[in-house]
Amino acid sequence: MSHRILLLPGDGIGPEIVAQGRRVLEALRDNHGLDCELDTAPIGGAGYDAAGQPLPEETLAKAQAADAVLLGAVGGPRYDELPREVRPERGLLAIRAELGLFGNLRPAMLYPQLADASALRPEVVAGLDLLIVRELTGGIYFGEPRGVRELPSGERQGYDTEVYSESEIERIARLAFAAAERRQGRLCSVDKANVLESSGLWREVVERVAADYPQIELSHMYVDNAAMQLVRAPKQFDVIVTGNMFGDILSDCAAQLTGSIGMLPSASLDERGKGLYEPVHGSAPDIAGQDKANPLATILSVAMLLRYSLGKSEHAERVERAVGQVLEEGLRTADLQGGSRVVGTVEMGEAVVGRL
Ligand SMILES: NC(=O)c1ccc[n+]([C@@H]2O[C@H](COP(=O)([O-])OP(=O)(O)OC[C@H]3O[C@@H](n4cnc5c(N)ncnc54)[C@H](O)[C@@H]3O)[C@@H](O)[C@H]2O)c1
Ligand SMILES: CC(C)[C@H](C(=O)O)[C@@H](O)C(=O)O
Ligand SMILES: [Mg+2]
Tell which one of 89, 95, 135 to mutate to probe ligand 2, the residue whose CB is within 8 A of the most ligand atoms: 89
Which residue CA neighbors atom 2 of ligand 2 most closely?
Answer: 89
Which amino acid is it at 267? A
List, for residues 115-151, the tens digit of each pLDDT value: 888 889 999 999 999 999 999 999 999 999 999 999 9
Angle at CA 293, nearest 5°, toward 290 and 298? Answer: 140
**Nearest C-alpha neighbor of 177 from the set 129, 213, 136:** 213
DSSP state of 234: G
Secondary structure (DSSP) of 76-110: -GGGTTS-GGGSHHHHHHHHHHHTT--EEEEEEE-
DSSP-assigned beta bridge partners for residue 266: 278
Whether 261 is in the pocket of ligand 1, judged by its Cβ within 6 Å, is yes
* pTM for this entry: 0.96
**Has residue 24 got a pLDDT over 90?**
yes
Whether 11 is in the pocket of ligand 2, judged by its Cβ within 6 Å, is no
pLDDT band at 1 (very low <50, low <70, confident <90, very high): confident
Q: Give the integer Cα–Cα distance in Å for 281 and 52.
A: 25
ipTM higher than the 0.90 cut: yes
Query: Average pLDDT, whole number, for the chain?
Result: 97
Q: Give the integer Cα–Cα distance in Å for 153 and 1.
A: 64
Work out the percent of the chain whose per-residue pLDDT is above 70: 100
Q: What are phi and psi of 118, to 5 degrees?
A: -75, 155
The domain segmentation of the chain, as residue ranges, is: 1-104+264-356, 129-257
Structural contact between residues 105 and 180, judged by C-beta atoms closer than 8 angstroms: no
Which residue CA neighbors atom 12 of ligand 2 most closely?
Answer: 280
Distances 109 to 81, 131, 197, 275 between C-alpha atoms, Å? 36, 8, 33, 21
Structural contact between residues 106 and 131, judged by C-beta atoms closer than 8 angstroms: yes
Range 88-101 average pLDDT: 98
List, for residues 299-309, the tens digit of each pLDDT value: 999 999 999 99
Range 340-348 average pLDDT: 97
Alpha-helical segments (H) within 155-295: 166-182, 197-210, 223-232, 244-257
Structural contact between residues 120 and 268, judged by C-beta atoms closer than 8 angstroms: no
Residue 282 Cα, ligand 1 centroid: separation in angstroms?
3
Question: What pLDDT score was predicted for residue 342?
Answer: 97
List, for residues 210-259, the tens digit of each pLDDT value: 999 999 999 999 999 999 999 999 999 999 999 999 999 999 999 889 98
Ion ligand 3: residue ranges with CB closer than 5 A: 248
List, for residues 174-220, the tens digit of each pLDDT value: 999 999 999 999 999 999 999 999 999 999 999 999 999 999 999 99
Q: Give the integer Cα–Cα distance in Å for 303 and 280.
A: 14
**Topology adopted by domain 1-104+264-356:** Isopropylmalate Dehydrogenase (3.40.718)
Range 266-285 average pLDDT: 95
Same CATH topology for 1-104+264-356 and 129-257: the answer is yes
Q: H-helix or E-strand containing 7? A: strand 3-10
Residues 6+ apart with CB under 8 A from 178: none
For the chain, give percent helix, strand, coil, nearest 5: 45, 20, 35
Cα Rg of the chain, angstroms: 20
pLDDT band at 79 (very low <50, low <70, confident <90, very high): very high
Whether 286 is in the pocket of ligand 1, judged by its Cβ within 6 Å, is yes
CATH 2.40.160.20 assigned to domain 129-257? The reply is no
Q: Give the integer Cα–Cα distance in Å for 233 and 352.
A: 32
Length of the chain: 356
List, for residues 149-171, the tens digit of each pLDDT value: 999 999 999 999 999 999 999 99
Q: Which ligand 2 atom is the nearest neighbour of the CA of 248?
A: 11
Question: What pLDDT score was predicted for residue 20?
Answer: 98
Work out the percent of the chain whose per-residue pLDDT is above 90: 95
**Has residue 54 got a pLDDT over 90?**
yes
Question: What pLDDT score was predicted for residue 117?
Answer: 85
User: What crossing angle do the helices spanning 14-31 and 313-328 adopt, rounded to 10°?
Assistant: 120
**Nearest C-alpha neighbor of 169 from the set 142, 139, 141:** 139
**Has residue 273 got a pLDDT over 90?**
no
**Has residue 274 got a pLDDT over 90?**
no
Whether 248 is in the pocket of ligand 1, judged by its Cβ within 6 Å, is no
Question: What pLDDT score was predicted for residue 162?
Answer: 98
DSSP-assigned beta bridge partners for residue 222: 191
* Active site residues per annotation: 141, 192, 224, 248, 252
Range 80-93 average pLDDT: 96
Which ligand approaches the C-alpha of residue 74 most closely? Answer: 1
Whether 294 is in the pocket of ligand 1, judged by its Cβ within 6 Å, is yes
Residues 6+ apart with CB under 8 A from 85: none
Question: What pLDDT score was predicted for residue 116?
Answer: 84
